Structures are given as C-alpha cells and as structure tokens.
Chains A and B, each alone.
Chain A
Amino acid sequence: MHRRVVITGMGVVAPGGVGAKAFWELLTSGRTATRTISFFDPSPFRSQVAAECDFDPAACGLTPVQTARMDRAAQFAVVAAAEAVADAGLELAELDPYRLGTVVGSAVGATMSLEREYVIASQKGARWLVDNTHTSPHLYDYYVPGSFAAEVAWSVGAEGPAAVVSTGCTSGLDAVAYAAELIREGSADVVVGGATDAPISPITVACFDAIKATTPRNDDPAHASRPFDNSRNGFVLGEGSAMFVLEDFERARRRGAPVYAEIVGFASRCNAFHMTGLRPDGREMAEAIRSALDFAQLNPERIGYVNAHGSGTKQNDRHETAAVKLALKDHAYATPMSSIKSMVGHSLGAIGAIEVAACALAIVNGVVPPTANLHEPDPECDLDYVPLEARDRHLDAVLSVGSGFGGFQSAMLLARPEGGAR
C-alpha cells in the first residue's frame, strides 16, 4: 500500500530573478535571461553566453559564515529550501526531524569552488603536486558534494534519510523522484527535495566547447538558446536551484496545506548507447514515458502539456520529438510541448527540478510557458512547441522529461491535486 506524494511548497533560484514568483513572471513573459558571461572573461572560449543568476546571498538570508563555507550551488539550494518551507507553511519546530528527509540533485557538485581552489593550489596549473597550504578549510565539502544535502538538512533540521543524487542532466528529475519515493515507501513523511547546480566556470565552459555542445551564438546572447528552431546550434549553460516540500498526501490534507500538484508517476531508463550521444529514435525516453504512465495508471490523453528537455542541440531536439511521438502517438501532436531552457538556459543537474517547478506552476495558473526564440522550427521537429508566447490552458496532468550524459532518460508526471490546485 503505497502512499501518495504532493508538492506543498516550492522555492526557486533561477536566472532572471530569485524566488518562484520572479521565475514564473519570466517564464510567462517570454523574456530570456541569457547573456554574455560576466563571472570571468569568456573571450578565450567558443561559447561565451550563459544564463547567470543575480544572486546576493546576504539579501537571501545567508550569514557570512554560511556564504564563506558553501559553494554557490549549496547556497542556491539552502535559499530555495527556505523559500519552499515558508511557502508550504511548515513550522519546522513542529516537525519530527526523524521523519523529515533531504534529497538534492546535482550533476557537477561544487565545480566552481573546486576550480577556484585548484587554481590556488596549483598556481594556475603550474604544479601537478598541488599545495594545500592556501586552500579553503572547506575543501572536502567541495570535493564530495554530499555536503549539499548536509547544508540543506542542517538548515531545516532534517534527520531522516538524506542523499545527493547525481545522474548528470537528469539529476533534478531523479532527485525529486527519489524524494517522492522516500515518502511513498514510508521512510519519511516530508522531504525537502530538489536540485541545484552552479557550473558557470571556465572548466565547464571549456569541456562543452570541446564537444561543441554549447552555442557559439555570442553576438546575440539574449536569443542564444533556441530549442527546436532551425537555427539552433547548441545549448546555453545556466545555473540555479529549485527545492520543494514534498509531503505525504494524507498529511498535507490533514493540515489543510495548499497543494500545487501530485507526483503521480516517474520512470527512468538508460540508453546504453553513448556517454554523450543519443539515438535518434528516442526509444529509451519513450519507454520511460510509457513506464511513468503505467505507474500513474494515467491515460496519455490526459496529458495537457509536455515540459521538454529542449536543450537546443539538434541531436536532443530530434531525439525527444521522436520519443514523445513514440510514447504519446497521435496525442503528441495535440499536446503543447515547450522548453523553458530557451529562457533560463540549461543548469545541468538543477534544471530538472526547475522544470518540475514550471510544471507545477503551469497546473496552478492554467498557463503553458512558451519556447522563446522559436521562429522557424526544424522541419524534423513538427510538434506544437508553443513558440514565443505563453498560452492559457487548463491542465489536468503534465509530463516533464529529461535526458542526460551517461545515457539517462527520465520522465515524471504531475497531476492537478484532488480538490483542485492552490
């Protein structure tokens, strides 16, 4: 007898603004938050654009001690978790810490802090035998990003199961699913779960340059992320976090908590094909979608919106278009499918959770966010990608899909809660 899981709170740190409200305003305005990289001089690199967060840790409530200790990604997660807890109306002092879990997804962990410390330790790469006398006392926290879960757990007083989930670019979806499973199986009643990443550093930019995965559209940064458009030529790196309060459905109902959505289905598959490549037929992602529908016992016709992985690489856009058609058949053509990466970029492990936030807000507001910058679709991408403008639409159930290096393919189904969304 498995329990049901609902989202009762959310917090978002995303490019374009801190907080779920600013995030939703950006998504529905069709504006974009991509720009020329400002964190370092990007001129030596092929791709020089990113979706950066304007994030002031002190203004978001972090103490100087926390800010000095935590990697930027951990800071995002702690700030988003605090927003989620407040949003859910949880009184932390009244929660049983043993029944409160913590799950944080991240693809690349504390990569910014690691690179910063490496530069110090190696004298900018001059030394192989790096010197530990000038590096941060918190280096181990960056070395093992389990520290992200620790920081969130400490910030909310959680002593139940805790984990960082790191499955490349499906980390966000997989972390939310892991969190939901802790509740479903009875290991926790409430989980603060979501994902975070802050990868905008030279090594990340260089590694995606090396495989031409990111866009070289440096002359027009605001329009550089162009999923499904015929002119797209790679993704735009992003950063951010979304954290949720996930709660046992009965518990949420008893305390009269407003509910965004119920997590009704999830499944993941691997393509066992290539660490970075995708098979054009999309069969493993289609299998994940079908399996999630099975789990949810949901008729695919009820899906009113598909939140695409939509990274803006030719390979991805064709792969997932094929996958959605395979899984939803004719209903794929009748279902709006958009990519918010067109506006907030691709924050690797975080984006899956940020996209769950977009799906939950879409259900609550009855609005489908658009795919920005989509003027002329790739002829091989022939679904309804909601170009340029948000669209009003009553939503019963939505599907979010993700695809990641390592071959990971994940699919999550969210549904309007019984009695209506908040």
Chain B
Amino acid sequence: MSGAPVVTGLGVIAATGLDTATYWKNLLDGRCGIGRIERFDPASYASRLAGEIRDFDPAAYLPDRLLAQTDHVTRFSLTAAAAALTDAGVDPAALGEYDMSVVTASSAGGFEFGQKELEKLWAKGGDHVSAYQSFAWFYAVNTGQISIRHGMRGPSGVVVTDHAGGLDAVGQARRHLRAGTPLAVTGGVDGSLCPWGWIGQLATGQISEREDPARAYLPFDADANGWIPGEGGAILIVEQPEAAARRGAATVYGEISGYAATFDPAPGSGRPPGLRRAIELALADAGCAPSEVDVVFADAAGVPELDAAEARALTEVFGARRVPVTAPKTATGRLAAGAGGLDLATALLSLRDQVIPPTINVTTVAPACADLDLVLDAPRPAPLHRALVVARGIGGFNAAVLLTAP
C-alpha cells in the first residue's frame, strides 16, 4: 500500500436514522433521537433516557436463521455492514476471500442475549440455556457474523477499549491494510439497552438523570450533568487506495491520514491525561500541522470535569477558538464502541458536503470550555479539507483519527 487507506462505503444505524441518508438529514435538521426508554420499563431506575433505535424490523434485513442466534447489537451490526458494502459497491464474492478483513469494536458484546440466558440458567436451570449463548453475547460476535455472512476470510479482529473502540478498530484495520489485505470492514456498532446493561452503565455514576431529552446530555455546557447512552454506530469500508482504484470504486469519502492511541496515567499519579498526546501523535502520523485541521469531532463526555479536560487538550493543541468543534453525538447519545465509527462517518459526510453538523441542545458554554469554537444550533457551512475525530474510553483510553477529503 503506497498511500493512506481510503473510505469507500458507509453504513450508519442510530436513533436518528436507520440508514446514512436519513441520519445525515436528521442531524443537519437538528433532530434529537434521545427519548424515554421503551425497550424495557425504566421507571425503577434513576436514569430513563436513551438514544434508542426504534422502528427497526430485523426481519426486513436478516434471515430467520440469523434472528434466532443474534442480539440486537449484532442485528444492527449486520445491517450496517451490509449497507456499507452496498454503498461501496463491493460484491464480496467478486473479491479474493482472504483479501477482506473484518475488525470491529465492542464494549459489552450482545448483552441482552446474555441477560436472557442468565435468567434462564438461574430461574430454570442449565438445561434451558441456549446453544447460541456460547457466542451470541461475546465481544467477537459481530466480527464473526459479518465475516461469515459475506465470506470474508482475511485477518480479522475485535478491540475492546470502551468508548474509544470505534477508532481503535479502524486503527487496527489500517494495520491489516498496510500488511497487505486490500479491504477491511471496520468501525463499531454497539449498545446494551436492557435492564442488566443499563445498571452496568449506571454504575459509572456519569449518566444524566434528567427527564427532559433536550436538557439531559449537554457536553461543554455550564449545565452539563452527565451523558445519555445510545445504541448504534457505523461500519466503514476501508481500502488500500490501489485496491479501490483497481475495482473502480465509485465514491471515496476520504482517507485515513493519521491515527494514534494513548492511555491516561493511573488515578492519583498527578501526571497529565493522555488525550492531548493522542491528538498530537495522530497529527504527526498524518504529517499535518494543527493549523491545517478544519474541524474537530469531540469526545464530548457531558461530565463537567471531563469536558474541561477535553477543552484544555484541544486548546493546547489548536489554540483558543482556532478550529470549529462539534459533538453530533448530542443527537444520538453516546454509542460506546459505536461512537467512533459514527463520528468517523459523520466527519466524512461533513467533508463531502462542506458543512459542520451542530452540537444540539447546548446553549450556554461552560466557562472552562469557553476557548472552544463550538458549532451550536445550526449547521455551519465551511471549507473543510481535514477533520479530526477524538474519543476517550472509561479507564483512560484515548484515540484520535485524522481524516482528509479526497
């Protein structure tokens, strides 16, 4: 591979759209996908809002055989992967079986599937546990199922780095491309909107307890009070540039010009967090100066001290109000390992249409974040050539990806 990998297909699924076009339109229209949870009754929990995917009929997308053995998150993943391949115009049967990799990120696997089987085991006994439990809940399930469905036999992988996973998966896919695999299906689709997954997330102590969807997830806002989990994400088709050209790929959304990951120091060490370094390393990897970055897609934790830390890192790298910053995840909630994939897809659509989607619901920027040029209220048209996407995972994961328009 002589140049940077290119993205030739996108498959998006989120609370604001079951396909890329709908998602993008709703994002530019400022629609919010956050609402009271309907998948289960959230009344007994302190937090009741989520970015839930509704009106998704899996039978319209997947054969019965797959429905029996899959959690929601795998159905979403398979749907997004198929859409991404269609968008890229890739017919897997026409490519070499070992020339396609699958690398996805997961945070908690197929968690609702796991809850159902735990319930059967403990309420009824081991004989009632599904034959599919051995794989349907585990972290590798989405990669495995995508690989099987599309006959992809190249080197594959799964990373678990909490909310940074979507970016780390793309970083790992890039390694496979550099080592010789022409194409990779990558990104992340995630979410655990079941009671058992919900209390796992509540244990962070970071989930907003507001009831008003417009006032719950407010990253960088003076009124920031936590985040709202969502489900979904995006799958990307990433190719060696020569391979994309060889098969006559119709669309190149952009190239993956730089990537880096770092880890925060242990709590209490007094050492600085690693986000700034991840951004600087990703820029260096791309050979790109901070002044050449046209927009930043923020991690946007929605937790005051984490927002302040991100604002500080961005300001240290780029200077005060020198680059527009946005958080489109305000419309979908935070998608865990799906967030990085979706932010990359969103950034590529921004580069395509030369418009920055807004951070919705945020009204009053916190003093600690005042040096950010946040894109609020409405889309902002701008000449966009390079976009930076950043993500952080609980525990200390940091990742950054730099995208360049074709």
Contacts and interface: CB of A to CB of B under 8 A. Distances in A.
Interface of A: 44-46, 97-98, 102, 106-109, 114-115, 118-119, 121-122, 124-126, 128-132, 135-147, 149-150, 153-154, 157-168, 171, 174, 178, 181, 185, 187, 202-203, 205-211, 213, 267-276, 284, 287, 295, 404-408
Interface string B109-142: 1010011011111111110011111110011110
Contact of A102 (B126, B203, B263, B274): B263
18 contacts: A44-B126, A122-B122, A130-B115, A140-B394, A143-B111, A143-B192, A143-B203, A150-B397, A162-B263, A163-B397, A166-B158, A174-B157, A187-B260, A209-B129, A269-B98, A270-B154, A275-B132, A275-B144
Contacts of B153: 269-272, 284, 287
Contacts of A107: 138-140
Contacts of A269: 98, 153-156
A161 B263 contact: yes
B143 A406 contact: yes
B148 A185 contact: no
Nearest to B122: A125
B195 interface: yes
A25 B111 CA distance: 40
A406 B197 CA distance: 23
B139 A145 contact: yes
A166 B148 contact: no
Contacts of A205: 126
B116 to A, nearest CB: 9
B119 A125 contact: yes
Q: Interface on chain B toward A: helix, strand, loop, or mixed SS?
A: mixed
Given A140-B394, A162-B263, A207 B129 contact: yes
Nearest to A212: B131
Nearest to B203: A139
Nearest to A266: B155
Contact of B160 (A131, A144, A154, A271): A144
B395 interface: yes
B49 interface: no
B252 to A, nearest CB: 24
B159 interface: yes
Interface stretch (B38-46, B313-321, B373-381): B38-46
Interface in B196-213: 196-197, 199-204
Contact of B129 (A98, A181, A206, A274): A206
Contacts of A128: 40, 115, 119, 195
A405 B129 contact: no
B162 interface: yes
B247 interface: no
Contact of A129 (B40, B102, B111, B155): B40
Contact of B143 (A45, A46, A167): A167
A213 B129 CA distance: 14
B404 interface: no
Contact of A159 (B97, B107, B145, B262): B262
A91 to B, nearest CB: 17
A272 B196 contact: no
Contact of A203 (B69, B97, B129): B129
B271 interface: yes
A45 B121 CA distance: 11
Given A108-B138, A125-B122, A213-B134, 17 more contacts: A115-B118, A132-B202, A144-B162, A146-B160, A149-B161, A154-B267, A163-B261, A166-B106, A166-B160, A207-B117, A211-B134, A269-B155, A270-B154, A271-B153, A272-B153, A404-B140, A408-B156
Contacts of A46: 126
A185 B259 CA distance: 12
A185 B102 CA distance: 21
B277 interface: yes
Contacts of B111: 143
Nearest to A155: B266
Contact of B144 (A124, A138, A406): A406
A386 B69 CA distance: 39
Given A122-B118, A206-B121, A270-B102, A144 B107 contact: yes
B134 A210 contact: yes
B160 A158 contact: no
B147 interface: yes
A205 B117 CA distance: 12
B131 A121 contact: no
Nearest to A145: B160
A276 B133 CA distance: 11
A131 B46 CA distance: 11
Nearest to B277: A98
A100 to B, nearest CB: 9
Contacts of A295: 179
B168 interface: yes
B264 interface: yes
Given A165-B158, A275-B148, A97 B265 contact: yes
B187 interface: no
A276 to B, nearest CB: 6
A168 to B, nearest CB: 5
A146 B161 contact: yes
Given A122-B122, A143-B201, A207 B133 contact: yes
B151 interface: yes
B17 interface: no
B135 A44 contact: no
A131 B138 CA distance: 23
Contact of B135 (A153, A178, A405): A405
Contacts of A44: 125-126
Shortest beta-carbon contacts, A-B, top 5: A406-B144, A125-B122, A143-B200, A125-B123, A150-B395
A22 B114 CA distance: 36
Given A137-B203, A164-B159, A272-B151, A132 B119 contact: no
Contacts of B339: none
A150 B260 contact: no
A140 B200 contact: yes
A143 B98 CA distance: 33
Contact of A276 (B98, B135, B396): B135
Contacts of A158: 263
Contacts of A124: 122-123
Contacts of B107: 143-144, 146
Nearest to B151: A272
B121 A202 contact: yes
A129 B112 CA distance: 12
A165 B144 contact: no
A225 to B, nearest CB: 18
A151 B134 CA distance: 26
B123 A408 contact: no
B346 interface: no
A109 B144 contact: no
B359 to A, nearest CB: 25
B133 A139 contact: no
A167 B98 contact: no
A128 B119 CA distance: 8
Nearest to B133: A207
Interface in B297-351: 336
A401 to B, nearest CB: 14
A211 B136 CA distance: 13
